[in-house]
Every structure is written in C-alpha cells, then in structure tokens.
A and B are shown apart, each in its own frame.
Chain A
Amino acid sequence: MDGNSKMETQAPKQGLGDQQLTGAEIVLRALADQGVDTIFGYPGGAVLPIYDAIYAQQQVRHILVRHEQGAGHMAEGYARATGKCGVALATSGPGATNMVTPLADALMDSIPMVVFTGQVPTHLIGSDAFQEADTVGITRSCTKHNYLVRDVNDLARTIHEAFYVATHGRPGPVLVDIPKNVQFAKGNYVGPEAIEHRTYHPRTEPQDKRIEEALALMAGAQRPIIYSGGGVINSGPEASQALRALAKATGWPVTSTLMGLGAFPASSPQWLGMVGMHGSFESNNAMHDCDVMLCVGARFDDRVTGRLDAFSPGSKKIHIDIDPSSINKNVRADIPVVADCGKALKALVNGWSKKVGKSPDIKPWWKQIDEWRARKGFAYPNSKKLIKPQYAIERLYELTKDRDTYITTEVGQHQMWAAQFYHFQEPNRWMTSGGLGTMGYGLPAAIGVQAAFPKALVIDIAGDASVQMTMQEMSCAIQHDLPVKIFILNNEWMGMVRQWQQLLHGERYSHSYSDALPDFVKLAEAYGCHGIRCEDPANLDAAIMEMIDTPKPVLFDCRVEKAENCFPMIPSGAAHNEMILGKITGEEIGEAGKMLV
C-alpha cells in the first residue's frame, strides 16, 4: 500500500519513548487491557498490520474462522455464554459486509460485542479503492454505535469507549473501523481506566417512586404473572437470583421469552414454560387472563404478544427495561420502570419483604393455571418406527442434563422444539437467535461457546437447512480442537417454511424441500469430524451417548419424522387464548393473519 505520506502526518504528537505503539499494537494492547482472551477473525489486506501484532504476542488467542459471519456469531456465542464482551475481527470490504448479519443479530438480541474491521488507508477512502466499502455507513443501522478512526492517537480511547458502549446500558454490537495507515502509524496508548463516555450514561437505578407504585399494584394482584426476558440474562447472574427470590417471595407464576430461558429454573413448579407463538398453553393463557403483569427485561415482541389489540386485555402492566424506548413501544405500560433488571428486581424483593397487609389469595389462580397445564399442550403422539423430533430433544435433554451442557440452535422448527423440550436451570446456557432469526447462527455460536469453555459439552441443536448456511465452520472447530456437537434434526425440509406453507399457503411447498442434501456422515468425515446417523428410535440413546463420548466435533444426522409440525401455535393475527393445540387446517388463520410474518 501507499500510505507513507499519510503515515507521516499521523506522526506522534508527543515523544513518549516506549509508550509509542503502532496502531496495530494499540489494538492488541487495548484488547489485553480489556481482559479479552479470545478473538474470532479472518485476515485480509486491510488488517495485515493487526495480524502482525497478533503474531507477536501470546495474550490474546485468535480463532481463525472460515467466513466472517462465522466470526461474528462465534463472538456472540462467546458473549452469551460468558457474559463478557465478544470480539471479532475482519478485513475491509467483503470482510465487513459479511459481518453485517451477526451485527444485526447482536443488535436485536442485545449482545455485547466489539467488531474490528480494517479499512483502506485514509487517503484512499472515497476513491472506490480495492476492497473498499463504506463500513460505518453500511453498519450504522445494525450497530449500537460505530467509529471510523482517522488518527492513531484517538485509537486507544476509541477502542475503550467501544467496549464501554457495548457493555453499558442495553448491550449491543459496536464496530471500530481502522484504516490501514492508522494501523501502521505510531501513537500514544492510553489505558481503559480514564475512559468514560462524554454523553452516554444510561440510567440503571430504578426510581424509588416507581418501585413503590409497582409494589402497590403487585400487592393487590389476584391473577399475577412474571414475564421475564433476555434482559434478565444480560443483567448478569445476580438478576436471575433476584428473579428467583422474587418468585419465591410472591409465589407468582413465571414465564419467559425465548431469549430469557434459564433465568428461572424450568424444574420449579412456578415455571409455566415459554410464552409466545410456540410457547406453552398455560403460559399464554395466563398472560391473557392475568390482572397484573410484571414484565422484566422483555420487549413485547410480536412473537410474544400475538394480536396486539387482544393482548392481555384485562391486566395492569409493570415494565422494567434499561432501554426507555422499549417501554410503551408496542404495549402501553401502566408503571414504567427504567432500570437495570437486576437492580429493579432486588428493589422489588426488598420492598415485598417489608410489605404491610395481606395480599389476595392467589390459589384460585394457580388452580386455573393447573387446569391449563392439564391440557398438556406439548403432548405429541410418539412413534416406535420413526424418531419424533420432540422425542429426540427429550432424550437429548435426559442424557445431557446432569452434565456441564450449553445449547445453541439454528432457526426454525428445531429451535422451537429445543425451547419447548430442553429444560434450562441456569442462565447463559442457551444461545439462540431470537430477534433476527438467523439461520446459520447455531454452529458458529457453539464454537464460540466451546472456545470459552473447552471442557463443557456444547451442542448445536440444528436443522438440516440451517446448518448448511455456516457448515464451513466445522473446519474451524477441527483446527482449534473445539469438540462441538452438531445435533441435526433432519426432516429434509425447511421445516418452519413447510409448516407455514401447509397451514397458510394451501400446501404449495414452493422451494422448501431440502433437495440434494449432503450425506452428513460423509461430510463429517471429510472435515475430519465424527459422523453419526440415527433413524431408529430404539438406537437413539446409544447414538446420543456415542456423540457425547466422542472427544472431537460430531455431526449427528438424526433422521426424524418429516411431516411433524410445531405445536402448540398461536396463529398469526390471533390472540393468546386462541392457541391451537394440535393439527390445524388453515381455516383458523384469516386473510389478515396471512399478511403478517
């Protein structure tokens, strides 16, 4: 490259001798100072100086991926499992554009992540240079914030600020775009201690008045429910503890979004299962009929609420969220509480213990919930000949629940079955693409989790279609000795697409059949992984044990019933109490519902 003249203009402002580092060295030093032990990346022309700096040090481990999208999802998986900030690195142009999907995914699911991209030298920006893309322009709407660093002396501060922004307030992805000449130039390093953002100081402490109002409303509840979400997980383990304490103190039933699974133990009798389109019958009915809803760290997503104007019509709603824009966005909150979930939950636990007077008896409400439970919304007819996908997840759960297990998923039917039939006891054990619904998320995310916890059992519950979107990362798993288990529920269909075509589009199965599927066992062997195929329910347990006991990456081709649908289901445009339990004909969904996604 020809950036010499620019490099001279970016010469250090003060001579501080050995404090002077190149931009690339500053990146690595800043990562180390931020406590980053692992980054996921792919080299290219515009990041070669950073790769030199990686080569020269031992502190930060670099996991070489096969596609930048993989690096982004790995960083997300790493972040969700550890609670720390995930870090990914890509080159300019196509490297950066390949990173767009993980950035959008992390923004939707509030995952703290810092992504570094290389950029062409500053003097070439705007000239349509080789591998130039307007990265900050392209990623502006799919990051929480992004930066283009023009001066090496701003680099260290910018990186520390990026970590601050990614991890404070509602977490999210932050991108730092670094032109190649800035990576070469020498400049001053500053540590993370001095960094505070000029204007970004999100509120985390709840207002006392709001907590009092919430407690007053809660004290009179006859049909209460706690509706928790991914915010409780993001807030950290203490928030999950506070949620459990509040549930214990109040005796209230608890449901959660897809993102919030694990914050409350599924083994608790107070657990109603997941809420929403494919949530439990009891949870959706309880949401519909409740009189007080305590929403904590969830955002009334359309997959949760169903038809908005029929959503929980008789309830007063308390909404705790760190992001004020989530409050009153889709559903009007009677008591908005802008705060970190953990802090607000703790305040509610303390307040509840000091509460004077007796609360109404909620036994009749529990009796009603038990009646809904008795409908057994997740029941399915099992088969001795074919593996039912639900059965496969049930067996997987039984055989892995006592181990140190982490579950990731792709997107589709298998994801919903995993959410329904795999029961989580602890937070940070479940990584799934909720908001964006990114097929291809689970395999790289599993690798990211495994990189953080090399000894854990990390399983990607996958579908045959999704898994092919990022299959190339099996090579990454082999290279870095990350023994992830890819458990494919193979029904030879894009199952959720097929289900919608069956129910909503007159059984016209347009392009949803997974034709020309690879032989997953041979594919596993080609990558140097272990391949397992299972078609007989009688052999399933043994095959799963073989997967668990194999000390290297496994592709498990679990051949399941092809026509199975995901139930129960709230059809599009329907209300929570219009949930469908078994086979449906399509008549249940009106024209209006078909228009919705």
Chain B
Amino acid sequence: MTRAIRPRTTPKTGVRDDPASAYDMTASDEGIEQRTLACIVDNEPGVLARVVGLFSGRGYNIESLTVAEIDRNAHQSRITIVTSGTNHVLEQIEQQLLRLVPVAKVIDVTNSSGGIERELALVKVAGKGDARVESLRISEIFRAHVIDTTNESFIFEVTGASQKIDQFVELMRPLGLVEVSRTGVLSIQRGKEKAG
C-alpha cells in the first residue's frame, strides 16, 4: 500500500492524520523525527532477534543499533536503537517494544530530551608524506587516539557524537581512508537519576 491511495480528507476533531502504518511514511513526510531508545532487556537467547524482528515486521526504521550486557548478575542487557518516524509511529514503537516479554524498560535517551549520545569509531588511514602528517594533525583536533601505526598507516580511535565522527571520516577520505568501523550510538540520560 502506498501513500497515494490513502483516501484523505480534511482532518476533523479527534481524527489523526498521521499515516496508520510505518510503511506509509515517505522521506517528505513532515514531522518525522529521530529518536534514540534504550531498551533494558533480560539477557536471554533470542532477545535481540525479537527486538529486531519487531522493527522489520512492523516496518520501522533502525538507523543504528548497539547491544551489550550491562549487569551480569541481573542478566540484563541494554539495546540502544536510533530510529525515526512520526510522533505516532515512535509512540507505537515504544509500546510495541514493551509488549515483548523480556523487555523490562524502554527509555527515551534522545539528545534533545536530555540524553547524551556518543559513538566510537576505529578509522584506518594509509598514506605517506604530507597526507600522513595532515591526518595526524586533524586527529589531534578531533582528540582521536592513534592505537596502531605502521610506516604507512594509522588506526585512529575517535569518540563523539555521530556527526563528529561523520566529519572526521569525511576529512580522512582524501588523506587515504581505508576502512571504518563504528559502534553505533550509545546514549544515557544526563543528571544523577536513574532513568525509566
């Protein structure tokens, strides 16, 4: 079903105009925003497949996903998902995640709502002469660390907001960029409280 065939009339009171299905969303849809969600889940076999399957089955986007155990004794993992959609779709994503039996909590850790986001990247750059010197100079500006070097290459470790890493990678491209490995976004709420 595409958007074009949805019969549309002027919205009336109490009637939502959002697309009912995430499949109806197109890039030009107004009101699409990005959200970072942290799911605290029981670390049991298949839990990641459940979460990912929910996104693919219901047509939701995953822009970034990271997962790791955070509490071995409590068998808990934290899955951080960057997704996008209209407010309605994002609200559904949260509720559908909570329907999954092993999902204990879903926390909105989006930057704009008080979350602090970080991503780590390993960036391999190969080159000689001026390009090599320039890549090292830029890495200092980005506070990247050199974690491996040969006469003709560096591997940089760089941490920051995703946009910062995008920028770093772009700057390295003409200087001999070979390979990039990124963790995906991690996020946590600012302040002293435990979220959720």
A positions within 8 Å CB-CB of B: 136-137, 140-141, 144-146, 148, 165, 170, 197-200, 307-317, 323-325, 327-332, 334, 573, 590-593, 595-596
Nearest opposing residue in chain A for B102, CB measure:
A199
Indicate if the CB atoms of A140 and B12 lie closer than 8 Å: no
Q: Is B167 an interface residue (CB 8 A)?
A: no
Given contacts A199-B104, A592-B6, contact A313 B15 (CB under 8 A): yes
- Among A136, A146, A313, A325, point to the contact of B14 (Cβ < 8 A): A313
Of B89-97, B131-139, B151-159, the segment with at least 4 beta carbons within 8 Å of chain A is: B89-97
Indicate if the CB atoms of B53 and A325 lie closer than 8 Å: no
Q: Is B31 an interface residue (CB 8 A)?
A: no
Interface string of B22-62 (1 = CB under 8 A from A): 00000000000000000000100110011001100100000
CB pairs A–B below 8 angstroms (9 shown) = A140-B53, A141-B54, A144-B101, A199-B104, A309-B12, A325-B92, A332-B14, A590-B7, A595-B5
Whole-angstrom distance between the alpha carbons of A313 and B8 in the complex?
14
Nearest opposing residue in chain A for B103, CB measure:
A199
Nearest opposing residue in chain A for B50, CB measure:
A140
B positions within 8 Å CB-CB of A: 1, 5-9, 11-17, 20, 42, 45-46, 49-50, 53-54, 57, 75, 88, 91-92, 95-96, 98-104
- Among B12, B45, B54, B57, point to the contact of A313 (Cβ < 8 A): B12
Q: List residues of chain A with CB within 8 A of the CB of B12.
A: 309, 313-314
Given contacts A314-B14, A315-B14, contact A323 B99 (CB under 8 A): yes
The 10 closest A-B pairs by CB, nearest first: A325-B95, A199-B104, A145-B101, A313-B12, A592-B7, A595-B5, A332-B16, A592-B5, A200-B101, A324-B95
Whole-angstrom distance between the alpha carbons of A317 and B12 in the complex?
14
Indicate if the CB atoms of B98 and A573 lie closer than 8 Å: no
Indicate if the CB atoms of A325 and B98 lie closer than 8 Å: yes
Nearest opposing residue in chain A for B17, CB measure:
A309
Indicate if the CB atoms of A165 and B20 lie closer than 8 Å: no
Q: List residues of chain B with CB within 8 A of the CB of A327.
A: 95
Q: List residues of chain A with CB within 8 A of the CB of B102.
A: 145, 199-200
Indicate if the CB atoms of B96 and A325 lie closer than 8 Å: yes
- Among A170, A311, A314, A323, point to the contact of B13 (Cβ < 8 A): A314
Smallest distance from the beta carbon of A289 to chain B beta carbons, Å? 13
Indicate if the CB atoms of A309 and B46 lie closer than 8 Å: no
- Among A312, A324, A330, point to the contact of B20 (Cβ < 8 A): A330
Whole-angstrom distance between the alpha carbons of A556 and B8 in the complex?
47
Q: Is the interface of A mostly helix, strand, loop or mixed?
A: loop
Smallest distance from the beta carbon of B41 to chain A beta carbons, Å? 8
Whole-angstrom distance between the alpha carbons of A199 and B101 in the complex?
8
Q: A140-B50, A315-B14 are in contact. List 8 more A-B contacts (CB 8 A).
A: A198-B42, A198-B104, A308-B20, A309-B8, A310-B15, A325-B92, A325-B96, A330-B20
Indicate if the CB atoms of A328 and B13 lie closer than 8 Å: no
Whole-angstrom distance between the alpha carbons of A74 and B42 in the complex?
33
Smallest distance from the beta carbon of B79 to chain A beta carbons, Å? 14
Nearest opposing residue in chain B for A314, CB measure:
B13
Q: List residues of chain A with CB within 8 A of the CB of B95.
A: 324-325, 327, 329
Q: List residues of chain A with CB within 8 A of the CB of B88.
A: 328
Indicate if the CB atoms of A141 and B9 lie closer than 8 Å: no
Given contacts A136-B46, A309-B15, A313-B13, contact A595 B1 (CB under 8 A): yes
Given contacts A329-B92, A573-B7, A591-B5, contact A324 B14 (CB under 8 A): no
- Among B5, B14, B16, B53, point to the contact of A141 (Cβ < 8 A): B53
Q: List residues of chain B with CB within 8 A of the CB of A311.
A: 15
Whole-angstrom distance between the alpha carbons of A131 and B91 in the complex?
41
Q: List residues of chain B with CB within 8 A of the CB of A199.
A: 42, 101-104
Smallest distance from the beta carbon of A219 to chain B beta carbons, Å? 19
Q: List residues of chain A with CB within 8 A of the CB of B54.
A: 141
Q: List residues of chain B with CB within 8 A of the CB of A315.
A: 14
Smallest distance from the beta carbon of A504 to chain B beta carbons, Å? 14
Q: List residues of chain B with CB within 8 A of the CB of A200.
A: 101-102
Whole-angstrom distance between the alpha carbons of A328 and B100 in the complex?
18
Nearest opposing residue in chain A for B105, CB measure:
A199
Whole-angstrom distance between the alpha carbons of A311 and B104 in the complex?
34
Whole-angstrom distance between the alpha carbons of A63 and B175 in the complex?
72
Q: List residues of chain A with CB within 8 A of the CB of B98.
A: 324-325
Nearest opposing residue in chain A for B6, CB measure:
A592
Indicate if the CB atoms of A307 and B42 lie closer than 8 Å: no
Smallest distance from the beta carbon of A157 to chain B beta carbons, Å? 13
Whole-angstrom distance between the alpha carbons of A198 and B44 in the complex?
12
Smallest distance from the beta carbon of B73 to chain A beta carbons, Å? 12
Nearest opposing residue in chain A for B92, CB measure:
A329
Nearest opposing residue in chain A for B11, CB measure:
A309
Whole-angstrom distance between the alpha carbons of A475 and B5 in the complex?
47
Q: List residues of chain A with CB within 8 A of the CB of B5.
A: 591-592, 595
Q: List residues of chain B with CB within 8 A of the CB of A573.
A: 7
Smallest distance from the beta carbon of A200 to chain B beta carbons, Å? 5
Whole-angstrom distance between the alpha carbons of A315 and B14 in the complex?
7
Indicate if the CB atoms of A334 and B14 lie closer than 8 Å: yes
Whole-angstrom distance between the alpha carbons of A593 and B1 in the complex?
11
Q: List residues of chain A with CB within 8 A of the CB of B101.
A: 144-145, 165, 197, 199-200
Indicate if the CB atoms of A140 and B7 lie closer than 8 Å: no
Nearest opposing residue in chain B for A317, CB measure:
B14
Q: List residues of chain B with CB within 8 A of the CB of A317.
A: 14
Smallest distance from the beta carbon of B111 to chain A beta carbons, Å? 25
Q: List residues of chain A with CB within 8 A of the CB of B16.
A: 308, 331-332
Q: List residues of chain A with CB within 8 A of the CB of B99.
A: 170, 323, 325
Whole-angstrom distance between the alpha carbons of A146 and B13 in the complex?
42
Smallest distance from the beta carbon of A326 to chain B beta carbons, Å? 8
Q: List residues of chain A with CB within 8 A of the CB of B9.
A: 309-310
Smallest distance from the beta carbon of A597 to chain B beta carbons, Å? 9
Nearest opposing residue in chain B for A146, CB measure:
B46
Nearest opposing residue in chain B for A330, CB measure:
B20
Whole-angstrom distance between the alpha carbons of A596 and B1 in the complex?
8
Whole-angstrom distance between the alpha carbons of A592 and B16 in the complex?
19
Q: List residues of chain B with CB within 8 A of the CB of A314.
A: 12-14
Smallest distance from the beta carbon of A396 to chain B beta carbons, Å? 38
Nearest opposing residue in chain B for A574, CB measure:
B7
Smallest distance from the beta carbon of B14 to chain A beta carbons, Å? 6
Nearest opposing residue in chain A for B18, CB measure:
A332
Whole-angstrom distance between the alpha carbons of A53 and B16 in the complex?
55
Smallest distance from the beta carbon of B57 to chain A beta carbons, Å? 5
Q: List residues of chain A with CB within 8 A of the CB of B46.
A: 136-137, 140, 146, 148
Whole-angstrom distance between the alpha carbons of A597 and B92 in the complex?
23
Nearest opposing residue in chain B for A591, CB measure:
B5
**Of B46, B49, B92, most A-chain CB atoms within 10 Å:** B46
Whole-angstrom distance between the alpha carbons of A170 and B96 in the complex?
13
